Amino acid sequence: MSELEQQYRQAPKLKSPPRIDNTILQAAQAAANTAAVAPQVVSTADTNRSGARRKKAARWWQPGVAFASICAVGVGLGIALKSGMLQPSAPASIDYELADNSSAATQTAADTASEVALVIENDTFLLEQPVAELFEQTSEQMNTDADSQADELFVETPADEELTTELASDSSIELALIEQESQDYPSVASVEVAETSVAKNGLPESLPAAEVRSTVAGISATRSSVSADTIDATLEDSDALGNNRDESFSAQQAKVDVAESESVIVPLDDLQAQIADENTASAEQGIASTAASAERQKNSRLAKRSSALTVAPEPPAEVASGLTPAVVADPVIDSAAEEGVAVNLWLLQQDSDNYTVQIAQSETEAVLTALAKTIPLPTEVVGFEQDYTRWLLLHGSYPLQHLAEDALQTLRQVFSKNGVSVSDLNARVVRIGDIQLAP
Amino acid sequence: MSLFSFAKVLKPDSDAKLLSAYASGDVAAFNTLYTRHKDGLFNFVVRSLPQPAAAEEITQDVWIAVIDQAGQFTPGTATFRTWLYRIGRNKVADFYRRKVNQANDELDTTNEQFVATQLSAEDQVLLNQLLEALAQLPEEQRVAFVLQQEGFSYSEIAEITGVGNETVKSRLRYARSATQDRMELNV
């Protein structure tokens, strides 16, 4: 268990206020007395449970009793009929009614019989005649339809007939195929190209494909032979040119070789004097180049320094985006601090709309010195600024105020963990543009 | 006293049984149930709220809901205690929702009216700091923390708050860390 939880559990258990107790208990009592909804639910459940038991019992004894009753009645009736105790007879009132209505009943029965006979005759007519005919007609129709559909499926189209005819002729197979393709696919490039070639060469347009192809092949062969001749001629020319160049090069080379063999003979005194002159000249040139190099380095340092003083580097991307309230330790500060302008320079490099954390110098000098050893802060700024302004710039540049406040909170926590009273930390979040620069 | 009655005295009736008895009309069963859980629930509600002044009203609402829904409680799905605190957590969540709508209301983080006076002055200060730190936690973290202090397991807290076990652990971890940091900050 953590210290926090122990501390929490040391807290006294809170007591529910008596006025709540009274209110709730009264409400419970009222609910139980008046509405009695809950007891009804339970009594309903009890009723359901007992009803279920009764239904469960009824499932087995009710059919049994009914069956036994029916059997008993049946057996009793059978015995009574067999023993002659019961004689089936119509009641007198029924006989009387039948006697009175006998004529009407007879007439009605005759009418009904004729109607029934008529209906039967009609039904017979409707049933016997049409069904047989309909069956035959339907079967015939179905066969006819099937045959016609099959004929339609397997009948040859005119195009197929043409194709078959063309296929039978061996001499014009390819032409027929090409024509068929051109009819089906008018944009086939091969056919158009073949016709165009034929027309341009002055040949009849109706030339068979075999001839067209042989003509094209001939043209290609002509082109290839011409190209080959041209190439051969060109090669011969190039060989001739190459031979000429080789000859001229050889002559020049021979002249150079003769000249070099002549220049080897030099007097020793002249050579020593020449070497001494060359050494002197190179020494002078070396001194001059060293001086120039030193001048270049000096200029480079000056340029670098001036750029460091004037050009403000962009803040890191994560700080600029405001996602990470990290401490901004700028490497420019190191070199600039030597020049004595660290804080002013750092401020100038920052966006004046950004925020930073400042800590008062006089109150926190010792604290800051200790703090700088424990956490990664831009200590150069801290150590330098205290000679110039009342406030020490301590903590980074943040594009949003709450990020700087978070940094300040972190700072307070670090102070607290390092045994520094928070009251010693006279810190604040300020807008960089509001900071007064050191003189 | 028979052996059965003696055993009954030793082993108190379960919460579910008491609630069932109350649903049958036994008001005494509800009194027993209420006495058993009233302080725990009140603690939970008070600690879960940034405004302890509203704790009485919310606690009362929770118990009224228990009275109304006593017949609907099914013992097989949850324990009565979990069910009770789940109602409480829902009422606290309702309070938070209302509070968002009442943006101008000032937070009353003083818990003095509920804190007993047995503590020393130093402990009282620490306790107040702890409660203030708790009051600044997000609702979910605070509820999870208080429920754990009330003795609920991770799975019970997950059931009450309607989230998974890992979420509960995460909330508790954040709650402890944030509370610790705030208290150190206030030292």
Identify all chain B residues contacting A14, using CB atoms and an 8 Å cutoff: 39, 42-43, 46, 114-116
> Do residue A413 and residue B184 have CB atoms under 8 angstroms apart?
yes
More confident residue, B2 or B100: B100
Alpha carbon of A49: minimum distance to chain B alpha carbons (Å): 15
Q: Residue A111, Cα to own-chain centre: how many angstroms?
A: 86
Closest residue of chain A to B35, computed from CA coordinates: A21
Specify the amino acid at residue A82. K
Residue B134's domain spans which residues?
12-185
Does the residue B1 lie in any domain? Answer: no
> Do residue B60 and residue A24 have CB atoms under 8 angstroms apart?
yes
Alpha carbon of A376: minimum distance to chain B alpha carbons (Å): 20
First-to-last C-alpha distance (Å) of chain A? 57
Does the residue B5 lie in any domain? Answer: no
A169: how many CB neighbours lie within 10 A of its CB?
10
> Do residue B42 and residue A12 have CB atoms under 8 angstroms apart?
no
A372-381 — which CB contacts under 8 Å span 24+ positions?
A374/A414, A374/A418, A375/A414, A376/A327, A376/A329, A377/A327, A377/A329, A378/A327, A378/A328, A378/A329, A378/A330, A378/A333, A378/A346, A380/A333, A380/A334, A380/A337, A380/A342, A381/A333, A381/A337, A381/A342, A381/A343, A381/A346
> Do residue B114 and residue A14 have CB atoms under 8 angstroms apart?
yes
Q: What CATH number is given to the structural domain containing B21?
A: 1.10.1740.10
State the pLDDT at residue A36: 53
Greatest alpha-carbon pair distance for chain A in Å reads: 182
| A174-A176-A178-A183 Cα dihedral, nearest 10 degrees | -170
Residue ranges in A86-202 assigned as alpha helix (H): 92-100, 102-154, 158-168, 173-184, 189-200
Identify all chain B residues contacting A4, using CB atoms and an 8 Å cutoff: 130, 176, 179-180, 183
Task: Give SS3 for A398.
Answer: strand
Contact between residue B56 and residue A20 where contact means Cβ atoms under 8 Å apart: yes
ipTM of this model? 0.73
Q: Measure Cα distances from B135 to A252, A319, A383, B107, B141 in Å.
A: 102, 31, 40, 9, 10
B101: how many CB neighbours lie within 10 A of its CB?
7
Closest residue of chain B to A11, computed from CA coordinates: B127
Across all residues in chain B, what is the average pLDDT? 79
β-strand partners of A277? none
Contact between residue A346 and residue A437 where contact means Cβ atoms under 8 Å apart: no
State the pLDDT at residue A313: 38
Least confident of A124-128, A282-286, B14-18, B65-69: A124-128
Contact between residue A169 and residue A209 where contact means Cβ atoms under 8 Å apart: no
Contact between residue B24 and residue B83 where contact means Cβ atoms under 8 Å apart: no
In 3D, which of A193, A167, A172 has the Cα closest to residue A182?
A: A193
- For residue A376, the 8-state DSSP code is -
Q: Residue A236, Cα to own-chain centre: how many angstroms?
A: 65
> Do residue A12 and residue B63 have CB atoms under 8 angstroms apart?
no
> Do residue A11 and residue B114 have CB atoms under 8 angstroms apart?
no
Contact between residue A398 and residue A367 where contact means Cβ atoms under 8 Å apart: no
How far apart CA B34 and CA A169 sit, in angstroms, is 110
How far apart CA A283 and CA A287 sit, in angstroms, is 6
Summarize the confidence of residues B169-178 as an average pLDDT.
90
Per-residue pLDDT band for B74 (boundaries 50, 70, 90) equals: confident
Identify all chain B residues contacting A8, using CB atoms and an 8 Å cutoff: 130, 149
> Do residue A14 and residue B43 have CB atoms under 8 angstroms apart?
yes
State the pLDDT at residue A218: 47
Does the residue B160 lie in any domain? Answer: yes
- pLDDT tens, A11-56? 667 777 888 888 888 888 888 876 554 444 443 444 444 445 555 5
Q: What secondary structure, in 3-state letters, does chain A show?
A: CCHHHHHHHHCCCCCCCHHHHHHHHHHHHHHHHHHCHHHHHHHHHHHHHHHHHHHHHHHHHHHHHHHHHHHHHHHHHHHHHHHCCCCCCCCHHHHHHHHHCHHHHHHHHHHHHHHHHHHHHHHHHHHHHHHHHHHHHHHHHHHHHHHHHHHHHHCCCHHHHHHHHHHHCCCCHHHHHHHHHHHHCCCCHHHHHHHHHHHHCCCCCCCCHHHHHHHHHHHHHHHHHHHHHHHHHHHHHHHHHHHHHHHHHHHHHHHHHHHHHHHCCCCHHHHHHHHHHHHHHHHHHHHHHHHHHHHHHHHHHHHHHHHHHHCCCCCCHHHHCCCCCCCCCCCHHHHHHHHCCHHHHHHHHCCCCCEEEEEEHHHHHHHHHHHHHHCCCCHHHHHHHCCCCCEEEEEEEECCHHHHHHHHHHHHHHHHHCCCCHHHCCEEEEEHHHCCCCC
Does the residue B50 lie in any domain? Answer: yes
- For residue A32, the 8-state DSSP code is I
In 3D, which of B63, B70, B52 has the Cα closest to residue B88?
A: B63
Residue appearing with tokens 């005494």: B28
How far apart CA A216 and CA A199 sit, in angstroms, is 12
Name A401's Cβ contacts closer than 8 Å, sequence gap at least 6: A355, A429, A431
> Do residue B70 and residue A38 have CB atoms under 8 angstroms apart?
yes
State the pLDDT at residue B168: 92
More confident residue, A168 or B184: B184
> Do residue B115 and residue A39 have CB atoms under 8 angstroms apart?
no
Specify the amino acid at residue A294. A
Q: What is the pLDDT along chain A (439 residues), one digit of tens a residue?
A: 567 777 777 666 777 788 888 888 888 888 887 655 444 444 344 444 444 555 555 555 566 777 888 888 888 888 877 776 655 554 444 444 444 454 454 455 555 555 544 444 444 444 444 555 555 665 566 655 555 554 554 444 444 444 444 444 444 445 444 455 445 444 433 434 444 444 444 444 444 544 444 444 444 444 444 444 444 444 444 444 444 444 444 444 444 444 444 444 556 666 667 666 766 666 666 666 666 666 666 565 544 444 433 333 344 443 334 333 333 434 333 433 343 345 566 667 778 888 887 765 545 556 665 665 555 544 434 443 444 444 555 567 788 888 888 877 877 777 677 666 656 566 778 887 777 654 4
A239: how many CB neighbours lie within 10 A of its CB?
10
Does the residue B152 lie in any domain? Answer: yes
Stretch 152-181 of chain A: residues touching chain B, C-beta under 8 Å: none
How many domains is chain B built from?
1
H/E element, A392:
strand A391-398
> Do residue B23 and residue A8 have CB atoms under 8 angstroms apart?
no
Q: State whether the Cα torsion A176-A178-A182-A184 is positive or negative.
A: positive
Interface test with A, best of B38, B111, B120, B177 (most A CBs within 10 A): B38
State the pLDDT at residue A90: 47
Task: Give SS3 for A371.
Answer: helix
State the pLDDT at residue A289: 64
State the pLDDT at residue B62: 92
* φ and ψ of A264, to 5 deg: -70, -30
Does the residue B33 lie in any domain? Answer: yes
- For residue A394, the 8-state DSSP code is E
State the pLDDT at residue A392: 58
Does the residue B4 lie in any domain? Answer: no
Alpha carbon of B71: minimum distance to chain A alpha carbons (Å): 5
